[in-house]
Structure 1
């Protein structure tokens, strides 16, 4: 099972079990420890994970953080846990106090459902107030799983995570800002767009009007965007379905056509003549045939790209056809099958050309 599937499965498990989890300790055992384990760390190995890690704060001794994920004998991720039903907002200060007393580079605050990852982007050795990565594990997005994967033991690299943490942090803040403005546009936001559409003075009454128009325009734009995406997805689905139908139809047609093909005694006699001509210089088992509705093909090595000749023996006139260097078919009329012997030299040259080409590509 890959990491993505494991995290998705873990999220499903949390959703099913949370109603049965009544204490903080049970949350740790049922949710937090399995999560740490999913990141590739052995929760029962004190060299990797230390429970009740002591993080003395000033004159206060014996302060403990729930878990410390270790690397090279030092804590690298501090994990503070709360009961799954608790709001995490009031508790980041506790993790904040622990953070600057250790050498840990990351802090994780979680109730087993919401996971918040912190670092020190604003001020070195001082945990930021806002997380750079936050997700609900029961509804985690693929891009969030990709960021979480960087914390897996197999991929963990402090520098790599820190380099992307800043971008993630500001993107989250910008998304939050955009969400707020889209729901309830501020005057500055409305004024920015109103000035593009209206050249006059924006008095209070006009600002009120443009506030409503801005909100409607945003909603309409998002709806149009979603509609366009849906149309595109449906078109692709329909195109794929049509392509599948065409392929099935082609296969069915081929099967029907094959069922109509009957190899005649005359065609088999012609094949034996060609085989007799060529077996003087190549093994007879290299000469094969494939019958079609309009012609009888004789091939080298049973390969469609190595056509030796084609026999047309079903019409009022009979032909032996060969393929020239420009891939064009050249037909030669034959009165009887014995006339095939007249093309012995040509057939030998065709086979020799195919073999020479194969040697060059080897």
Structure 2
């Protein structure tokens, strides 16, 4: 029992934030170390003397490429779990060491539906070493039976990683499993390690109270949600988003919701109309493909641009010499504010010498060159 108390104390006695989150990681428990998740947990084994735990991470929601057997110190493995879940697991282990068997205990559940049931047994080997083996009381489907189950996490990541839409995946117990770059930028998440793996109910001070409320409501209802709502950020700022929350299930004890959102146009402003109201000719070019993707009304009139001509060939084969295009990009990357003199060939066959002001615009993985032709 003394050995068990030495094992349990570092994980159980952690500093807590005002919202009740067990956020302090014990010394040596780096943010890159594996951590246990409640969703999909089928068993774990604790070496009492070595203070180590081994568990099986399912492939269904494996966004961190850590499926299979994982090993870590007990305090490190439990660091992302809610404090109440930590206490229950440590109590289960202590009881098993003391009496030989323990449980069942119920993790999660409540308004989110059925929780995870765990029972534990003590196992002693030669040399006096003690192990505690905990197993789930639920019958978990064999993941090897379906490639769809195995591929849920990679599929979601492939579809949304570079999406301009903000996407968040939360498992059935309320723990954040994945967020794409657009989500992190929109919700001002600077350090993702302070959010991914944490329970959303305990980190409204990091993701904002509105998001936490929407996700927890969707998990409790287990039904799709959509709408337009003002979301308040942790910083105190707010904006209106159109959002969808879609529940999913991949196998027994696994699943959750996918939250996706995008900003609502400010007061319904049509920025294409504003673009067309600018009197100076303006062109937007995809830097990678060199295709002209947009031109305002003034540019279409000045250079005889049509939609068909825009799609016909890269701008370096129609309006600009390749060397001119490269020099414009280099000038934009240096942040030059002074216009450059360049020769432009219009689709009407007329070649003009124009002063051009250039700006590089980032939109997700794509870069655009905005050219403003000065008179």
* TM-score, with structure 1 as normaliser: 0.22
**Looking at CA atoms only, which structure, 1 or 2, has the larger radius of gyration?**
1
Q: Which has the higher contact order (CA 8 A, sep 6+)?
A: 2
Counting helix residues as a fraction of each chain, which structure ranks higher?
A: 1
Counting strand residues as a fraction of each chain, which structure ranks higher?
A: 2
